[in-house]
């Protein structure tokens, strides 16, 4: 792998010239690269800019020189290319947490030389412990090395990367959240200096560079037709989120309240655990997942439709309506379902325009770790339809984003059922083929229709409003006494 040798040669050159003036053009030449390309690749691979790396190595080594007998601060400052003793002392104090005159071996902060094998080692150990666990798209030499590889094969490599990242990254984001909320990591000036490297360069910076490289790779393949175009909009939104200004001064992160806003809550391996405080890291996790879904979901959907096919798929935007029904449980036999349907048939003047028998499902606005699945037999009826005694109901409103939204009704009419207001917008998929295959559960998160509908949505970069106003429904196009062959899934577009 020549790029490893080239970067290693550049790092060796820096290491041998820490006390000399270092030209970035000359460093790039050591890697047989242009200055701009080298700086980009160095940042992507190392998680730190070339300038920051040189500065950290000089400040780290200068401490050991100051510990030598008869050393003078001005001499060390000049040796490590600082114009004045004052500028050196300021940088030194920020890096080590003590002034040059007070340095002792016990407080020296060591920034080790970076070495490149298959993984990056050295630098601040905490930074690499966190950052190296992310499955970044950093194969920057891929296009040139795979000149004879077909677009389909390159797309397959993207799919494999996205699948691997989806398995790995959620737990790394949780580790970042846990680290942000660990008060013991945010006490001293030295910790703040190191943490700034970890968060700003090691996490935010590396995702920015990953997106740059990934977009270049995707653009090279776009004309071949193998790429899902939805990924470009998702990358744009990801970059927009990464560009947000979170604080005026990194030292403000000593305040736990600010770190809580950034950290949010951990969401588990699959990103589905309940979140009471959605922070900046949670949003980054969502966008990271959306990129991966756009890359591997189309292929997964094709493989999941075994024995059946999708006849139509659309996003429906309906005016306000109301679901009315009864909870489905072990006591809900065929006779009770008939009674539900018979009651709703008598309310024909209150039709919604989507008048099929449904098994409506949700988790009461909570994550699957907090609330089990609840199902209700019923129908969508017109808004404000009177609710028969003994029936549950939920309202659906255009643009509603949950109970805190002023566009949503704030209280139930006449039911003791825990109340939620949902969004009257959903994906609608109709299927044909082997009905048993449509409802197959083995190998699926829920069943085949659920998984395929959800995965089409995710592959298009569309948001599923989980968990606050998340819901799904099986649609019995030929009536409740025939199998469901269509599926609804809540979306927010």
* Residue 321 host element (H or E): strand 321-328
> What is the chain's mean pLDDT, rounded?
87
Q: Round to whole Å and give the CA distance between 364 and 242.
A: 32
Predicted local confidence at residue 336, as pLDDT: 87
CA of 21: how far to CAs of 10, 80, 319, 327, in Å? Answer: 15, 8, 68, 75
Predicted local confidence at residue 116, as pLDDT: 62
Predicted local confidence at residue 216, as pLDDT: 82
Predicted local confidence at residue 117, as pLDDT: 53
Q: What is the percentage of the chain residues whose pLDDT exceeds 90?
A: 60
Best-predicted range by mean pLDDT (25-39, 127-141, 168-182, 449-463): 449-463
Q: Is the pLDDT of residue 240 over 90?
A: yes
**Which pLDDT band, with edges at 50, 70 and 90, does 408 fall under?**
low
Q: Is the pLDDT of residue 425 over 50?
A: yes
Residue of higher predicted confidence among 180 and 136: 180
Q: Is the pLDDT of residue 159 over 60?
A: yes
Q: Is the pLDDT of residue 143 over 60?
A: no
Predicted local confidence at residue 146, as pLDDT: 54
Q: Is the pLDDT of residue 407 over 60?
A: no
Q: Round to whole Å and give the CA distance between 238 and 198.
A: 19
Q: Is the pLDDT of residue 1 over 60?
A: no
Q: Is the peptide bond before 467 cis (omega within 30 degrees of 0)?
A: yes
pLDDT in tens, 22-56: 999 999 999 888 888 788 778 767 778 899 999 99
pLDDT in tens, 10-31: 999 999 999 999 999 999 999 8
Predicted local confidence at residue 38, as pLDDT: 83
**Which pLDDT band, with edges at 50, 70 and 90, does 271 fall under?**
confident
* Residue 115 host element (H or E): strand 112-116
Q: Round to whole Å and give the CA distance between 207 and 280.
A: 14
Predicted local confidence at residue 357, as pLDDT: 96
Q: How many CB atoms lie within 10 A of CB 433?
A: 15
Predicted local confidence at residue 132, as pLDDT: 63
**Which pLDDT band, with edges at 50, 70 and 90, does 462 fall under?**
very high
CA of 299: how far to CAs of 230, 293, 295, 346, 459, in Å? Answer: 14, 10, 8, 45, 9
Burial state string for 280-291 with b = 16 or more CB within 10 A and e = fewer than 16? bbbbbbbbbbbb
Q: Is the pLDDT of residue 140 over 80?
A: no
Predicted local confidence at residue 400, as pLDDT: 64
**Which pLDDT band, with edges at 50, 70 and 90, does 118 fall under?**
very low
Average pLDDT over residues 81-99: 91
Using DSSP bridges, classify how beta strands 471-476 and 486-490 pair: parallel, antiparallel or unpaired. antiparallel
Q: Round to whole Å and give the CA distance between 489 and 471.
A: 6
What's the pTM value of the predicted model, to 2 decimals? 0.72
pLDDT in tens, 362-396: 999 988 888 888 999 999 999 999 999 999 999 99
Q: Is the pLDDT of residue 2 over 60?
A: no
Q: Round to whole Å and give the CA distance between 110 and 78.
A: 20
Q: Round to whole Å and give the CA distance between 425 and 378.
A: 18
Q: Is the pLDDT of residue 154 over 50?
A: yes
Domains assigned to the chain = 1-122 (1.10.10.60), 124-298 (no CATH), 312-490 (3.20.80)
């Amino acid at each position: 792998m020549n790029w490893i040798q080239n970067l290693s040669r550049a790092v060796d050159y820096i290491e041998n010239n820490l006390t000399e003036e270092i030209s970035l053009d000359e460093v790039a030449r050591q890697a047989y690269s242009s200055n701009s390309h080298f700086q980009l690749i160095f940042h992507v691979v190392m998680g730190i800019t070339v300038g920051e790396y040189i500065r950290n190595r000089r400040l780290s080594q200068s401490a050991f020189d100051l510990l030598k007998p008869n050393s003078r601060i001005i001499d060390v400052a000049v040796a490590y290319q600082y114009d004045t003793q004052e500028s050196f002392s300021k940088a030194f104090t920020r890096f080590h947490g003590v002034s040059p005159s007070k340095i002792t071996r016990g407080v020296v902060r060591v920034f080790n030389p970076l070495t490149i094998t298959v993984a990056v080692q050295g630098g601040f150990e905490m930074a690499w412990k966190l950052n190296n666990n992310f499955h970044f798209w950093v194969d920057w030499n891929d296009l040139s090395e795979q000149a004879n590889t077909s677009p389909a094969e390159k797309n397959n490599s993207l799919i494999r990367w996205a699948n691997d990242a989806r398995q790995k990254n959620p737990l790394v984001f949780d580790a970042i959240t846990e680290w942000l909320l660990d008060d013991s990591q945010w006490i001293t000036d030295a910790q703040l200096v190191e943490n700034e490297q970890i968060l700003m360069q090691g996490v935010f910076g590396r995702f920015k560079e990953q997106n740059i490289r990934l977009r270049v790779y995707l653009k090279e393949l776009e004309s071949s037709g193998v790429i899902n175009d939805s990924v470009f909009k998702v990358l744009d939104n990801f970059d927009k989120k990464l560009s947000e200004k979170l604080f005026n001064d990194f030292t403000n992160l000593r305040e736990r309240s600010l770190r809580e806003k950034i950290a949010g809550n951990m969401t588990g391996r699959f990103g589905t655990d309940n979140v009471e405080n959605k922070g900046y890291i949670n949003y980054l996790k969502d966008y990271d997942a959306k990129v991966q879904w756009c890359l591997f979901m189309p292929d997964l959907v094709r493989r999941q439709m075994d024995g059946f096919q999708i006849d139509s798929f659309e996003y429906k935007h309906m005016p306000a309506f109301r679901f009315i029904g009864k909870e489905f449980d072990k006591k809900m036999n065929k006779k009770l379902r008939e009674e539900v349907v018979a009651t709703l048939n008598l309310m024909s003047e209150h039709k919604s325009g989507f008048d099929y028998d449904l098994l409506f499902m949700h988790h009461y606005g909570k994550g699957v770790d907090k609330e089990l699945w609840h199902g209700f037999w019923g129908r969508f009826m017109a808004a404000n339809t009177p609710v028969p005694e003994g029936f549950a109901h939920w309202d659906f409103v255009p643009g509603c984003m949950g109970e805190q939204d002023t566009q949503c009704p704030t209280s139930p009419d006449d039911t003791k059922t825990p109340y939620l207001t949902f969004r009257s917008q959903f994906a609608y998929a109709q299927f044909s083929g082997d009905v048993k295959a449509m409802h197959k559960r083995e190998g699926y998160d829920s069943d085949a229709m659920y998984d395929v509908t959800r995965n089409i949505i995710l592959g298009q970069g569309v948001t599923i409003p989980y968990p606050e106003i998340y819901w799904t429904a099986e649609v019995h196009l030929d009536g409740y006494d025939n199998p469901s062959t269509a599926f609804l899934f809540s979306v927010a577009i």
